[in-house]
Structure 1
Amino acid sequence: MKSSVLHRLLIIALAVMLLYVSPSANRLFAQSVFYKIEVPEGRTGQTVDLQVKGKGLSQVDQIDKVKFDGVEVKVIHFEIKSDDRLPVRIQIPENAQPVGKINFRGKNALRINRIFSLF
């Protein structure tokens, strides 16, 4: 009886470990955070560089959505530079409103504390 209980616990522990290590599981447990972006007048229809600051950002693995008033914004360049700096280049559509949202996903996404726009 004791060995069957131990056997079940071992199977459960292995399943949890596999879930924790697999890439799809990482997406399951990934943090997601929205930030508001404001674009100055006359900058819609142009490329904008954003500088994202925080700690542990090398594990932020994707940008889910960048939207300006419901209009999807094209992410031209997204690259992990270091653990505390994440440059992002976006193309803002001509018909976009000046205020938008950007959604970062990945481990440590909640550690983002500032976004600088390099206009």
Structure 2
Amino acid sequence: VHPIESLAQVVDGNELPRLARRVWEVHVDETIRDYIIRLVFATRRHKDLILGASPRGSHALYRGIQAYAALHGRDYTLPDDVKTLAPVILSHRCLIHPESALRGHTHVGILKEIMDATPLDIGELE
């Protein structure tokens, strides 16, 4: 018996539209939205990147944190959601200068550097 035949269905296909709606309804505070935009913009100005993330990258990160929050049973996002997912979602959307790669710089390292240099004003979170 092939292992694939032992797999069980984990969700009813009719349930998917409801789950998608639940993700879309997860609240993203304006401060977190602005933080995402500033992070993505910073990738376009970083000295070790030839190409930074595009607006599609910011959209993917926005939707990603909504899904991440929903999977963790929340109807709101946290700044830590951005910090957790930004390296995963944005790393393949950036192109490192060959010289920087030869010096050992990585996508994840550069994105962490950008996040460390980009403050989040949590005083305004609702």
> Which entry has the higher C-alpha Rg, 1 or 2?
1
Which structure features the higher share of helix residues? 2
TM-score normalized with structure 2 length? 0.29
The structure, 1 or 2, with the larger RCO (C-alpha pairs under 8 Å, 6+ apart) is 1
Write 1 or 2 for the structure with the bigger share of strand.
1
Give the TM-score normalised by structure 1: 0.30
